[in-house]
Amino acid sequence: MKTAYIAQYRDSLLQDVVPFWMKHSIDREWGGFLTCLDRDGDVYDTDKFIWLQCREVWCFSMLYNQVEPKAEWLDAAVQGAEFLRKCGRDEAGNWYFSLTREGKPLIQPYNIFSDCFATMAFGQLFKATGNQDYADIAVATFRNILARQDNPKGLYTKAVPGTRPLISFALPMILCNLVLEIEHLLEVELVERVIDEGIHAVMDVFYQPEHGLILENVNPDGSFSDSFEGRTVNPGHGLEAMWFVMDLAARRGDDALIRRATDLTLSILEYGWDQEHGGIFYFLDISGHPPLQLEWDQKLWWVHVETLVSLLKGYLHTGDKRCMDWFEKVHAYTFAHFPDPGHGEWFGYLNRQGEPLLSLKGGKWKGCFHIPRALYQCWKTLEAIVEKEEAGKVAQLS
């Protein structure tokens, strides 16, 4: 059974998803990537969103570093990085949100996640190339994120200062992953401090013990804000964060933290699962009120694949059978609904009933990132599970 899963994840990654992006998304005229691809891979829009440009550089670099040193993967990553190096930042070194196809800035650097994904991209590409320029960009961008982290939107903040000073989950969550991505470029003390702060934020501040859930926004002291923002639960965010935390916990040998992250994975998933149609909701209101997001009941690709990673890592580390049961259920839903065998790659957006809501394979927010990263992570985690089981090391809970 698990060996069949290994083949399925590996083959989906290497025979379907990666070739689709290699074939359709490289902009051989202007450099960088064309990410707005229709069902067949044809380009329907040429704007370049920094999130997706950076994530695709990261993805091809990671494949080169982790799977196989293929020249075509490295070439794809390097040409994307050169486009970004030339056009991606304002004079202060902040990353724009989007560019035109030719690289002219379109949308200002209001969004700090552009900088997060730039750090990942250049950190991973440095590993592949040894080019110190890439390391320098990664480190400078990372330090800029830390400097901006208490006011990430800067000038573009619409909240009146002081009235309801909420803090948001997304940045501390991403930092938990980002710090390991560029650990090789940072001093040890900084790495340990960012890890401590990240784990504290995710597992203490945003985690709500009475619900077994993570909130998207809380008061600065971690308490509940009874407002639209404060009531918002994004199950996919919490589920993705759990494998980031498990990776940090595994690095430190902290079994208790792995146990907590595994339990939290299961409780978020039980809460977020659509009992009627299957799949995981996109947004919910923790008090059961109507969520603000009209897309709340949709089923998104990244939510499902990130959940698969957390379930497998939870199983690998704890042997908790509930992880494997849920993995089989989420795997079945995911592979029955998201891949598009006739045309290649995966749909990104399904309606509540599980039918494709949009035919795109890539757009403003979906690019070459969550699916290949998760397929790789699942493949390798399944291999580790099999290895451990063969060595008789997985504790079988029931």
Binding site for a second copy (CB under 8 A): 38, 44-45, 47, 96-97, 100, 104-108, 110, 155-156, 158-160, 163-164, 226-228, 287, 289-292, 294-298, 349, 351-352, 357-360, 363-364
Q: Which is nearer to a second copy, 147 or 155 (CB)?
A: 155
Q: Which is nearer to a second copy, 163 or 275 (CB)?
A: 163
Closest approach, Cβ 61 to a second copy, in A, equals 28
Q: Which is nearer to a second copy, 255 or 355 (CB)?
A: 355
CA 120/CA 57 separation, integer angstroms:
9
Q: Which is nearer to a second copy, 300 or 374 (CB)?
A: 300
Q: Which is nearer to a second copy, 300 or 324 (CB)?
A: 300
Closest approach, Cβ 346 to a second copy, in A, equals 14
CA-closest candidate to residue 126, choices 61, 183, 189: 61
Closest approach, Cβ 292 to a second copy, in A, equals 6
CA-closest candidate to residue 241, choices 185, 283, 201, 295: 201
Compute, in degrees rounded to 10, the torsion defined by CA atoms 201, 206, 208, 209: -10
Tell how far CA 203 is from the center of its chain.
18
Closest approach, Cβ 201 to a second copy, in A, equals 24
Q: Which is nearer to a second copy, 87 or 394 (CB)?
A: 87
Closest approach, Cβ 303 to a second copy, in A, equals 13
CA 218/CA 233 separation, integer angstroms:
11
Closest approach, Cβ 106 to a second copy, in A, equals 5
SS3 23: helix
Tell how far CA 23 is from the center of its chain.
23
Which residues contact residue 373 at a Cβ distance below 8 angstroms, ignoring those fewer than 6 apart? 59, 62
Q: DSSP H helical segments within 274-320, as ranges?
A: 301-318
Q: Do residues 306 and 295 touch, judged by C-beta distance below 8 A?
A: no
CA 288/CA 141 separation, integer angstroms:
39
The tokens describing 397, both together, are 């809970």
Closest approach, Cβ 45 to a second copy, in A, equals 6
Q: Which is nearer to a second copy, 287 or 396 (CB)?
A: 287
Using alpha carbons, list the distances in angstroms from residue 353 to 274, 299, 315, 337.
10, 9, 29, 10
